[in-house]
Structure 1
């Protein structure tokens, strides 16, 4: 429903593969769910005539399969190294100038960068750099990294990048391509995921290295997961790493926060269920969220011959709905999981569409009901979240057309009451439906359901993995921001 909160972009990096851009293309396709506005790839190849590295960029608005044709991949994006990005605009307007990766040439050579996350001091940093003479080509916070790197006086490129990362406070999972290396970095809090894997190159027995936002990208290309890029880590992959197989690792800050703050929404909604992020299966955790939801708010059947029908809002609600149905049935309540909603996969995500007036039309073209499953039944609808309420209300109206006996809505997240400062696109508290009503009952009445229950924050935290030194960012539920941000951070902050 309104849990369509895909504001987290996708990043990929490929090193030491003869068709690096093609590998990046497939990875970006696997990560299409993380951003559908625009996509881009920068590749790098050795120019024998010029005796130096050349960088080639190709970007466009639209989906990965629409932007990159076979001709582009074969005849434009040459090289054995590449980085790529799928964009959903969380800062900066959705204009061509803001499509990543960004590429510059400066005194140390070529450098290209792609960013997932949000910086929290964009306004201050941008103003300072402009006063020092910087000229910006875009309105996104991601460009700040390149200006900070280019202006650093550190003696080596690695140290320049480390210094820039220390100055750029906020949420970032980055891939960076230079003339000599592929680099990957995660901020000291570890808000967003980033993983590294390797892919055999059969003709020479070496490995290509791949970095991506999620492991589902590795599954598509047959890459082997090595490990997560750690929080506060700058990872370097160069020719020496290719020879030795030993990744090079540098810390970003000397005194990182004592506890990570992984974005818990990555488990609830952002990531694909077939991915492993932060070292854990997304599918397994979503099932657990559904089970916890059933423990808190079961729906009782009227009789053994008239079971409760549990359906999901596809696709993100699927595995949670299975978990809910399992626990509801285990409690002795006649329950059946069924398919009550059919989703068209040829329509963009409702929350991906940046402007509100585009969402209402899209929900009508995105879902259809299976009337025979729903008519005359007590139906439980399981979904991940409610943000504005626009999609939820329209979908409830659609479900009512099937004439269910009762309609109960169960949400695997607490009410969202606060704007995200670290990469999600609901910056205005006034846009959030939970801030317009006092109780679940009032929200449920506004949406048109017989009952509504959100998973409690306590149950959410208990359902998430608990690794040493790892905590979760729950600021969108609680207002407790682990990293202070400039007030009223929003998408157009860099345009002011």
Structure 2
């Protein structure tokens, strides 16, 4: 998960602001997409590309600090990447500069919001061609693909690259969720969104003469101008000299664009909107719908106690607000109060098992030391592996809570999510850990995934609750999710809940993963017998 932003200062502009000013405006608004660091690459004619970092202060402001301090360096274009540190393959410490094989200095830079599913295969192809390869990150990998294509078709012949052709070849080669901002050695800027459309990419032509790009439209808040979304399978090319821009399709139209459901549920800023519906509004409405189910379960408690509604910090707030309002409508007295806080912003869902456990133990703390005779409802947007919810439940019970209930603003996650959440296998998911223990008939029923019978879903909820020491878990039923998304269901990738992947290559991987898990089940059962 990363955020990307770019600013191009159009030649006709008479604004007193510069591209760094515009990036410093946009970057803080993309903070949810990565908290590790911000890399910047900027270009000035006759000076070339230079690299730097951006530093965020406690006041949420950002200061860009180029590596080379030179007051005469006033770039007309700059790109930035807000990065997350916790990745199986990290995005690297800086935006990468890659030189072509001919030995001439062709500086290329890229900022990338990506989940590159077939990265291993692409990397293997490079290793097969070169005895030694320095392609380590997805950013380097995509740059290498672009460089190879440019060299083969254009540079060796002394021609300027036709980026429509280059990115058409790239779009055919990759499988994943990609939004990228690419800067070449002539100051040309290319914004690219691959054909799956799972990652958003938006642009604004500002009234004061800038052309801006960002992962989310919340980055343009308080700026005046015309915005539009870059369509899946398209590039927008901005000429480094004239500032003129054109959009071109780079795919053949066989793939139907879908936005990753996690954009609305988790990844996107609450202030970002889709078709006029903010993510905050979507999350609030989901919480309200979920509250009706939770209210019935709480009312069934034999010994009602004081009920606190809290969120898992940072992302669960809108869900919890909606759920709390709904409980009142059902006549259930509750108090909306945060009882869990975080000590740092870094996400805990990505990384190795040991890395995640270490971060979880350090990240969360209970705000109140005495929760005696209190039932706590923790509202979260998803329950993935269960390790974070287990740790938070333990903290709350230690503080005296009588019961901890979890309300989840999405259905059970049943599929590896190669396209944005760092979930690469089935057996790491809480759903499948419980599935292995179910009787044969319930296992078969649950393989209907989002179409499973309600009593099977309740059985899974009960078992997962037991595994994390919670009193209950309530998932959002799939039909409710479909009805509450800001676009028609077919406009979203719902594969985490349906096992229906957005691309053929992704489906083949998921099916193979499922066959391996099912085939391994008899062995696991014999071990535990």
Per the normalisation by structure 2, the TM-score is: 0.77
Match of 1:442 in 2: 463
Aligned in 2, Cα 1:13/1:70: closer, same or farther, shift over 3 Å? closer
- Pairing partner for 1:55 from 49, 68, 84: 49
Whole-Å separation in 2 of the counterparts to 1:140 and 1:73: 22
1:151 matches 2:148? yes
Whole-Å separation in 2 of the counterparts to 1:43 and 1:386: 40
- Equivalent pairs, count: 460
Q: How far did 1:322 drift?
A: 0.9
Aligned in 2, Cα 1:22/1:229: closer, same or farther, shift over 3 Å? same
Point out the more displaced range, 432-441 or 292-301. 292-301
Aligned in 2, Cα 1:149/1:407: closer, same or farther, shift over 3 Å? closer
Alignment check: 8 A CA contact 2:193 2:232 kept: yes
Match of 1:351 in 2: 349
Over residues 23-53 of structure 1, what are the superposed CA-to-partner deviations in whole Å (9 max), with x where a residue is unaligned?
Answer: 3345333323212344311110112xxxxx5
SS of corresponding position for 1:437 = helix
Whole-Å separation in 1 of the counterparts to 2:269 and 2:128: 42
Aligned in 2, Cα 1:70/1:150: closer, same or farther, shift over 3 Å? closer
1:171 matches 2:177? yes
Aligned in 2, Cα 1:442/1:208: closer, same or farther, shift over 3 Å? same
Match of 1:4 in 2: none
Q: How far did 1:318 drift?
A: 0.5
Alignment check: 8 A CA contact 2:36 2:346 kept: no
Over residues 54-98 of structure 1, what are the superposed CA-to-partner deviations in whole Å (9 max), with x where a residue is unaligned?
Answer: 0112369xx7569x9665378267512111112336876348xx3
Q: How far did 1:455 drift?
A: 1.1
SS of corresponding position for 2:136 = coil
Aligned in 2, Cα 1:102/1:92: closer, same or farther, shift over 3 Å? farther
Per the normalisation by structure 1, the TM-score is: 0.82
- Pairing partner for 2:204 from 165, 188, 197: 197
1:16 matches 2:9? yes
Whole-Å separation in 1 of the counterparts to 2:22 and 2:306: 48
Alignment map for 1:71-110 (pairs within 5 Å)? 71-72=65-66, 75=69, 78-88=74-84, 93-94=89-90, 98-106=92-100, 110=107
Match of 2:253 in 1: 255
1:476 matches 2:472? no
Alignment map for 1:110-125 (pairs within 5 Å)? 110-125=107-122
Match of 1:494 in 2: none
Point out the more displaced range, 128-137 or 330-339. 128-137
Match of 1:186 in 2: 193
Whole-Å separation in 2 of the counterparts to 1:241 and 1:114: 22
1:40 matches 2:46? no
Whole-Å separation in 1 of the counterparts to 2:64 and 2:113: 26
Aligned in 2, Cα 1:268/1:177: closer, same or farther, shift over 3 Å? same
Match of 2:379 in 1: 382
Whole-Å separation in 2 of the counterparts to 1:74 and 1:356: 39
Q: How far did 1:446 drift?
A: 1.3
SS of corresponding position for 2:291 = helix
- Long gaps (5+) in structure 1: 1-7, 48-52, 202-206, 491-496
Highest CA radius of gyration, 1 or 2?
Answer: 2
Q: How far did 1:265 drift?
A: 1.0
Over residues 407-448 of structure 1, what are the superposed CA-to-partner deviations in whole Å (9 max), with x where a residue is unaligned?
Answer: 211111122232212232121322222211141111101111
Over residues 88-110 of structure 1, what are the superposed CA-to-partner deviations in whole Å (9 max), with x where a residue is unaligned?
Answer: 36876348xx3453333558954
Alignment check: 8 A CA contact 1:274 1:282 kept: yes
Aligned in 2, Cα 1:124/1:367: closer, same or farther, shift over 3 Å? closer
Alignment map for 1:314-393 (pairs within 5 Å)? 314-344=313-343, 346=344, 348-351=346-349, 354-371=351-368, 374-393=371-390
Q: How far did 1:147 drift?
A: 2.7
Match of 2:214 in 1: 212
More helix by share: 2
Alignment check: 8 A CA contact 1:83 1:101 kept: no
Whole-Å separation in 2 of the counterparts to 1:470 and 1:237: 32
- Long gaps (5+) in structure 2: 11-16, 436-459, 514-529
Alignment check: 8 A CA contact 2:51 2:66 kept: no
SS of corresponding position for 1:458 = helix
SS of corresponding position for 1:116 = strand
Aligned in 2, Cα 1:170/1:426: closer, same or farther, shift over 3 Å? closer
SS of corresponding position for 1:398 = helix
- Pairing partner for 2:138 from 128, 141, 144: 141
Whole-Å separation in 2 of the counterparts to 1:440 and 1:291: 20
Whole-Å separation in 2 of the counterparts to 1:334 and 1:69: 46
Point out the more displaced range, 403-412 or 15-24. 15-24
Point out the more displaced range, 73-82 or 436-445. 73-82
